[in-house]
Copies of this chain bind each other. A is one copy, B any other.
Amino acid sequence: MSQAFLAKILSAGDLSPADQSLVLRLLDDVRTVAARRDIIRDGERPDHVHVMIEGWACRYKVLRAGPRQITAFLLPGDFCDTHVTIFNEMDHGIAAISESRVAYVPRGRMLELTERPGIARAFWWASLVDEAVLRAWIVNLGRRDAFDRVGHLICELHARLHNVGLADDGTFDMPLTQEELSDALGLTPVHVNRVLKRLREEGLMSFRRRQITISDIAALRAATDFDPIYLHLSKQRVPVPTA
Question: Chain A: residues with CB nearer than 8 A to chain B?
Answer: 12-13, 59, 61, 63-65, 67-69, 71-72, 82-83, 86-89, 91-92, 114-117, 120-121, 123-125, 127-128, 130-132, 134-135, 137-139, 141-144, 185-186, 225, 229-230, 232, 234
Q: How long is the Cα–Cα vector from A230 to B92 in the complex, in angstroms? A: 9
CB distance from A12 to the nearest CB of B (A): 8
B116–A225 CB distance below 8 A: no
The answer to whether A127 touches B117 (Cβ under 8 A) is no
The answer to whether A92 touches B135, judged by C-beta atoms less than 8 angstroms apart, is: yes
Copies of this protein, total: 2
Q: 13 A-B contacts, Cβ less than 8 Å apart?
A: A63-B144, A71-B135, A87-B132, A87-B232, A91-B132, A91-B232, A114-B124, A127-B127, A134-B134, A134-B135, A134-B138, A137-B138, A142-B185
Q: A67-B143, A89-B229, A114-B121 are in contact. List 8 more A-B contacts (CB 8 A).
A: A71-B139, A83-B128, A92-B135, A123-B124, A124-B127, A131-B134, A134-B138, A141-B142
> In the complex, what residues of B have CB within 8 A of residue A132's CB?
83, 87, 91
Q: Is the beta-carbon distance between A91 and B141 smaller than 8 angstroms?
A: no
Q: Which residues of B contact A114 (CB under 8 A)?
A: 117, 120-121, 124
Q: Which residues of B contact A127 (CB under 8 A)?
A: 124, 127-128, 131
Known contacts A120-B114, A128-B82, A131-B131; decide if A139 and B234 are in contact (CB<8 Å). no
